[in-house]
Structure 1
Amino acid sequence: MKVVISGFYGLGNTGDEAILEAIVDNLRNEIKDIDITVFSLSPEQTAKEHRVKTVYRGWRHDNKGKVRALREADLLISGGGGLLQDTYPTKFLFGPLPYYLLIAFLAKLCGAKVMFFSQGIGPVTSAWGKILMKVFANRADFVTVRDQYSKDYLHNLGVKRPETVVTADIVFAFQKKPDDSCLKSLPLTGTEKLVAVSTRPWFEHDDYYSKLADVLDELIETEGITPVFVPMEGHHDVNASQRVMELMKRADDCYLLGGDFTPNQYLNFIGECEMTIGLRLHSLIFSALSHVPHIGISYDKKVESLLKRSGMWEYSFPLEAFDPEKMKENARYVLAHRSELSQVVAGNAAQMRKEALENIELLKKKFM
């Protein structure tokens, strides 16, 4: 079977690279002699890391390569991740939303089947974005989404023709390999109470930096934690982490990991922590996978949906309602009840892992 995978790959986003690794590893486990091509912005790097064929993903280069790969493919896997949204500007045929829909349309023209795979849908708020979804997304052969919200959102957009099944984020099927590179990069004694912290820039919402700095300062003082910032998207998150640290009184008691570790290395590190405080969706998924209790700051419905499924939403906050005093209280509770909350998270993560693996089983059932 020949498949092409299209997504936000080769751009240094840890969550998306974890998605790709999970898809590739599980396809190889389940389908004998599978032939995989990935559309990537860094094709040479992606080919080396995942042992796959690659084609440059953008429209500026190698469009013949894209067409050739799709003509030879049995199936285009579009996803996973939050590809179908217009949070970032959509102008005519420019922006993430038209790109992924046009790749899917091109696949259909080339004779390949199309599966939107383990996707989180929305927001799609522009009139043009809604038209593109209704016209092109309805041409898919099959759809799996990572939460019920995404299925409902698709149907509200008028995308009802392809069968849609709710599963879970494919990263819950990530195959972890032992690797302590992150721990070794830090001058730790082994006695620290580590708390993973994941920040990110998010449009005009930069007032949360000072609030988070205040929370971490007090938790260092009262709970003896050692915050470690985990940058999930290279320099973007490194810069956001540094902004928080610049506002802290106890920044000298924090560490910042390098922004070039692999998803597997970050996953192993988070598994060593007492708790995670995070914005990035996949920092929270890594925490759930590792049975680490977590407090999320939800900037998007996808984060809220994950926190509800992991059992940690009652301790978390929408970004616009981030209350530092309440977070301090919640963090103290989570640290004090870590063992029982870890069991709750473990049970929910096991269910989501089972649902994540359904993405592969459904693919086999529908297209083999």
Structure 2
Amino acid sequence: MSDIVVSGYYGFANAGDEAMLAAMIEALTDIEPNINITVISGDPDDTRRRHGVSAVYRLNYPEIARIMSKSHLLISGGGSLLQDVTSDRSLYYYLSIMMLAKKLGKPVMLYAQGIGPVQGALAKGAMRYIGNMVDLITVRDEGSFEELKRLKVTAPPVYVTADPVLAMHPVDKQTGRSILKKHGQEGAAPLVGLSVREWKDWSHYKQVLAQAADMMVEELGARVVFLPMQWPDDLSVSQKIAARMKNKAGVLPGEYTTSELLSLVGNLDLLIGIRLHALIFAAVMHVPMAGISYDPKIDRFLETIGEKHAGTLKTVTVDGLMARIRRLWAERKQPNREREERISNLHNKAFQNAELALSLVKERGR
């Protein structure tokens, strides 16, 4: 039986990060059902309840050290933990947890990380110093692999795999249907989901999405529903965009589990997403998607499935977005086989993360 400690942005009601944790737990326990997992979390009670694992508060370093001293591996991942664009404090926090594990003589794995951008001179030096101490790195895309080379993190073995969530099994759609019905969103017309986020109070992309949503209702006969991925932040911006529309749109008000969100996405005919993991949920549930980029991680994911973004938050236009939507609309009845094959390959690569993690435990246990 293995004891593994998992570090990441967990316990903050971010559906994408919670999905990554759920996916890691699912993949690791698929291989080794009796594994013991302890998660370092911003809300240990929520993590215990949501995921059925042990958890410890992320700033309780004495307790983290105690649990880590008994463990066989520290996993740092997934997501964009190691970057200094949104904040350099989080970069140094995650590096400090990795350093603690190495001081305790424990192997460390970066698990399907999206690396960078790392821009500050001090941050680059810290990444290079501690990154070269770790035992194994998997990254979710080629861009992250190139970022590691740029940072001169060259000592550990590095594998390009895929986002952990792509290893998840598709779920039944009935739960999603029940949620939609509860909020008056059932019907025969095609259903388009929008997953949006606030960004610097910018107005342009909100107006574009509102106009495009109106055109989908009027031109394509679609119903439109907003799916909040980070609650309650995404609920607020969803309501702002829906208020700009001339036609009625639904806004789902709740905070949903990973399984519920996957089921909801499975009921869609098309997803338009700014949130990365909304796009990944669409891939898992085989739903056509159009991505709008605010971060290189969106571009990188879309490239892995043979797609490009429909515009950035600054550059997206109604005409450009609608052109992409019309192309995807035809795929509701005739799926894109090339993209489906790419997604199947990414599923296998995502599962490889868990296989490599447990092989590292066994290797160190000899």
For structure 2, the residue ranges without an aligned partner over 5 or more in a row are: none
Match of 2:322? 328
Give the alignment partner of residue 226 of structure 1, picking from 209, 223, 228.
223
Residues 123-166 of structure 1: CA deviation (Å, up to 9, x unaligned): 11122221221121111110000001101111101111111100
Pick the aligned partner of 1:343 from 337, 343, 354. 337
Q: Which moved more, 1:354-363 or 1:332-341?
A: 332-341
Counterpart secondary structure, 1:17 = helix
TM alignment of 1:57-76, pairs within 5 A: 57=58, 59=59, 62-76=60-74
Partner of 1:22: 23
Q: Cα distance, 1:187 vs. partner?
A: 1.2
Structure 1 runs of 4+ aligned residues shifted over 6 Å read: none
Cα–Cα, structure 1 residues 177 and 328, in superposed 2: closer, same or farther, change >3 Å?
Answer: closer
Bigger mean CA offset, 173-182 vs 81-90? 173-182
Tell whether the 8 Å contact from 1:294 to 1:312 is kept in structure 2 after alignment.
Answer: no
Q: Is the 8 A contact 2:42 2:57 kept in 1?
A: yes
The answer for the alignment partner of 2:32 in structure 1 is 31
1:258 aligns with 2:256: no
Deviation at residue 32 of structure 1 after TM alignment = 4.4
- Answer yes or no: is 1:126 the counterpart of 2:104: no
Matches within 5 A, 1:274-289: 274-289=269-284
SS at structure 1 position matched to 2:292: strand
Task: Give the number of aligned pairs.
Answer: 358
Aligned counterpart for 1:299 among listed residues 294, 298, 307: 294
Deviation at 1:281, TM superposition (A): 0.3
Q: Which structure 1 residue ranges, 5 or more long, are not aligned?
A: none
Following the alignment from structure 2 to structure 1, what is the Cα–Cα distance between the partners of residues 250 and 337? 28
Compute the displacement of 1:321 (Å): 2.2
Give the whole-Å Cα distance in 2 for the aligned partners of 1:206 and 1:69.
Answer: 46
TM-score normalised by length of structure 2:
0.94
Of 230, 237, 240, which aligns to 2:237?
A: 240
Deviation of residue 33 (structure 1)?
Answer: 2.4
Give the match's secondary structure for 1:9: coil
Q: Say yes or no: does 1:212 pair with 2:209.
A: yes
Q: 1:332 to 1:32 in 2, by over 3 A?
A: closer
How is 1:61-210 mapped onto 2 (pairs within 5 angstroms)?
62-90=60-88, 95-178=89-172, 179-180=175-176, 181-203=178-200, 205-210=202-207
Distance 2:181 2:134 in 1: 45
Q: Contact conserved, 2:288 with 2:331, CA < 8 A, in 1?
A: no
- Contact between 2:310 and 2:320, CA under 8 Å: does it hold in 1? no
Return the structure number with greater relative CO, CA threshold 8 A, min gap 6.
2
Q: TM-score, normalised by structure 1?
A: 0.93
In the alignment, the residues of structure 1 paired with residue 323 and residue 339 of structure 2 have an alpha-carbon distance, to the nearest angstrom, of 20
Percent identity of equivalent pairs: 37
What is aligned with 1:268? 263
Q: Does 1:358 align with 2:358?
A: no
What is the CA distance between 1:185 and its match in structure 2?
2.6
The alpha-carbon distance between structure 1 residues 240 and 204, as it changes in their structure 2 partners (threshold 3 A), is: closer
Q: Which secondary structure does the structure 1 equivalent of 2:334 belong to?
A: helix
